[in-house]
Amino acid sequence: MKNIPARDRLIFAMDVPTCERARALASELGDAVSFYKIGLELMMSGEYFELLDWMLERDKKVFCDLKFFDIPATVASAVRSLKDRGATFVTVHGNRSIMEAAAENKGDTLKVLGVTVLTSLDRGDLDDLGFDCNIDELVLSRARQCLESGCDGVISSGLEVPRLREFVDEKLLVVSPGIRPVDNKPVGDQKRVVTVPTAFANGCDYIVVGRPIRDADSPRAAAEAMQEQIAAAVAA
């Protein structure tokens, strides 16, 4: 396990339509969550950076899940514009040249995470996209490219993390979405999911959790319950 504070290992996916709703939910969660992911839905609200600054002022860490995917020069410019805004993570898609452009412009504090295979995709989806390989092979290939390109880590389902830890350098950060608190049954658009204990037993560094917290009767209680599971898992 890397030297990461246990309570920072839970990243809450702030998937809500407005910054007003995001601030209210963050206030409700309080110290139960210290790390937030804000993505494209909030980007389109028009107050993305105001929300980022609001969270930083409250000593929260922020993961800008913007999945940059464009020509390398454009991705380089986007990452360069973001690097001094105080975010901890940003995501990029694409080939080696795109990831290299992001890594070369990330500065000293922003960490770049390469997306391997979205947890909403399964074997049939890869066939539709024209990938003639299994998911494990594609995740491994993408992870190796990320590391060789200078990225700090990857986004990967917890299902593939054991192979990443076996065949890719241990220093690679692994952030896993598609986490469920009780069982590993797919919910909504997430198809490749694992539980909290399984994610950390498999070697994840961080987990991203959205709906199980957001849609709970008490989001704060749900977040605290996950924090307890994480503390037990990383201490094991």
Give the pair of three-digit tokens for residue 210: 């959205």
- Distance (Å, rounded) from C-alpha 52 to C-alpha 42? 10
Q: What are the E-state strand segments in the chain?
A: 10-13, 35-38, 61-68, 89-92, 111-115, 153-155, 173-176, 179-180, 194-195, 206-209
Q: Which position among 2, 60, 67, 185 bears the catalytic label?
A: 67
Read off the pTM. 0.89
Per-residue model confidence (pLDDT) at position 184? 45
Domain presence at residue 1: no
Taking residues 45-69, report their average pLDDT.
Answer: 97
pLDDT tens column, 156-183:
888 888 888 887 878 889 999 888 765 5
pLDDT tens column, 136-150:
677 788 888 889 999
Domain presence at residue 187: yes
Give the pair of three-digit tokens for residue 164: 């990443």
Checking if the pLDDT of 191 tops 80, the result is no
Domain presence at residue 103: yes
Domain presence at residue 30: yes
Q: Is 37 a catalytic residue?
A: no
Domain presence at residue 31: yes
Domain presence at residue 204: yes
Is-contact 192 119, C-beta < 8 A? yes
What CATH number did the domain enclosing 142 receive?
3.20.20.70
Domain presence at residue 124: yes
CA dihedral 34, 40, 43, 49 (to 10 degrees): 30
Per-residue model confidence (pLDDT) at position 190? 47
Q: Which domain holds residue 65?
A: 6-235
Domain presence at residue 210: yes
Taking residues 65-70, report their average pLDDT.
Answer: 94
| Tally of domains in the chain | 1
**C-alpha separations of 35 from 26, 113, 145, 150 in Å:** 10, 16, 27, 24
